[in-house]
Structure 1
Amino acid sequence: MVLKVFCRTMSADNRVCAERFIRPLAGERKNSLFFGSDKMAGVSAVYHTIIFTCRMQGVSVLDYFKRFFSEIVKGRRDYEYLLPLTIGLEQ
């Protein structure tokens, strides 16, 4: 319902953009039915959220995960500063 109202106010080009943005999320929702547990579906949702955040901000996903896990191994626990935009990667 909300998407229909949102799409009516947008031009055709923006509708395509919105559809491209929503498509992976809908696929993730359908795939989460087969993870076997709620915990694993939640873990998958977290990883997909991080990946899409990196893509939206123009940060390399692989570089982010390398930096994130190396900081965690070092013992860093200030998670607010380990987000894709605050970890210190160049865009």
Structure 2
Amino acid sequence: MNRPIDSRKEFLEVLEQTRIEAEARFQRAPRSALYESIARQLAAMQSMTESGRTPTEDERESITIGLLAARELEPAQDPDLVDFIERLHELNGYFTAWPPN
């Protein structure tokens, strides 16, 4: 990723890409509570922002994918995992701040 998300359109695109990847990672490791949590939180973020909806402050504060990535996945050597982690941090940051229209 290597750059911040700077629009809702980009947020939604990165969210969809990352949600699909998280689901795939969970399917490859079905006993992984970590990937299950990440996949569920990404799906929740998608639901909370559907049709232009603005997530509530409580909803924004409920997302912990950046913290999970920092605690459980870093440091990573695999370039694909590094990219996945960067996207999790960017998504979490954008979602938490949720800029006005």
Report TM bin, short chain: 0.3 to 0.5
Give the number of the structure whose alpha-carbon radius of gyration is greater: 1
Structure-2-length-normalised TM-score: 0.31
Structure with larger RCO (C-alpha < 8 A, sep 6+): 2
